Structure 1
């Protein structure tokens, strides 16, 4: 009987599980990461307008910290959906079933259902690495390490405006804004920030 080693980076050679490209520990970690993605993706939504996790969500009085646009959380949510959809399309092309609705719970459920088939294919290590990357990206966006910053400076989303938008909470406080604004004077209320964030994210991708 021929044995193959797991292609992921291990301190020592680890045999792949029967019928899989990955070893047993990698298989278990991959499944756990997939199962946690929907919850992390949903929690990330609550942090799109916040710099860090609210340690005591029941405490309202005495906290006047301004909300601001958390681009790390927005990017992590968008990346999760894009990566999961890409792998679901890969499965659909090879096996035939239609890709489910474009949502993280539906896509992760689809991938978990076909996990045995996926982990037996050559791209299994790449799949595991990308899912682990999404898991870590969402965790860091939700609860960043001390000293981490996610502020960015981008062109105003209003056509023809030369102003710049900064997502730095300190700059927003200095400007005395209750939402988000550009250096030329355009301003958006808190309820509009998610839509503005998508436009900013699109600009960054186009520039790249």
Structure 2
């Protein structure tokens, strides 16, 4: 079932916004560190840079989904998908899909395409506009025999961390953060 004209405009708008959001997500990959975290953590030269895994995942997902739909268009319509060079990035893929939007929106996959593009835009906007929690990686877990990664999560609109825990299930309430900071420093000193 093909979607009506207003839906085409919405999908076109979503496609037009995705390259800018993709770029904005790049700036969210290495988020600014909150003063509350900096005050309790000593950074050493061997520490990896803190990356926001969600921003990396959103960018990868945008590229994968657009590339997949562009592949379908190329397969059915005979037009080559933009290559991975400068014009084949997310901007090139979005332009390619916009150029073939009539065909896509008249296809049986129109609803699925529209939903996926809208979901990409929504997820990227939530991340860029701060409605998704930011994650700050603090290194390895301090618990004995735990190989988990320690992460501080910051709620939207807050500078201080709202939760600290590792991906194996250990967590520390705010009243224990100073003690946790000392344990992190001891671990880094050894």
Name the TM-score class by shorter chain: 0.5 to 0.7
Q: Which residue of 2 aligns with 1:196?
A: none
The answer to which structure has the higher strand fraction is 2
Unpaired stretches in structure 1, ≥5 consecutive residues: 1-6, 8-20, 53-62, 186-208
3-state SS of paired residue (1:119): helix
Structure 2 residue 114 is the aligned partner of structure 1 residue 132 = no
Maintained 8 Å contact 1:44/1:142: yes
Counterpart of 2:30 (choices 18, 32, 49) is 49
Maintained 8 Å contact 2:8/2:101: no
Maintained 8 Å contact 1:50/1:68: yes
* Structure 1 CA distance for aligned equivalents of residues 14 and 113 of structure 2: 11
Counterpart of 2:94 (choices 99, 103, 108) is 108
Maintained 8 Å contact 2:29/2:51: yes
Structure 2 residue 18 is the aligned partner of structure 1 residue 37 = yes
Counterpart of 1:69 (choices 46, 51, 64) is 51
Unpaired stretches in structure 2, ≥5 consecutive residues: 39-48, 154-160, 166-176
Q: Which residue of 2 aligns with 1:168?
A: 152
Q: How far did 1:68 drift?
A: 4.0
Of structures 1 and 2, the one with the larger relative CO (CA 8 A, separation 6+) is 2
Q: Which residue of 1 aligns with 2:3?
A: 22
Q: How far did 1:97 drift?
A: 1.8
The answer to which structure has the higher helix fraction is 2
- TM-score of the aligned structures, taking structure 2 as reference length: 0.63
- TM-score of the aligned structures, taking structure 1 as reference length: 0.58
Across the aligned residues of Structure 1 and Structure 2, the Cα RMSD in angstroms comes to 3.3
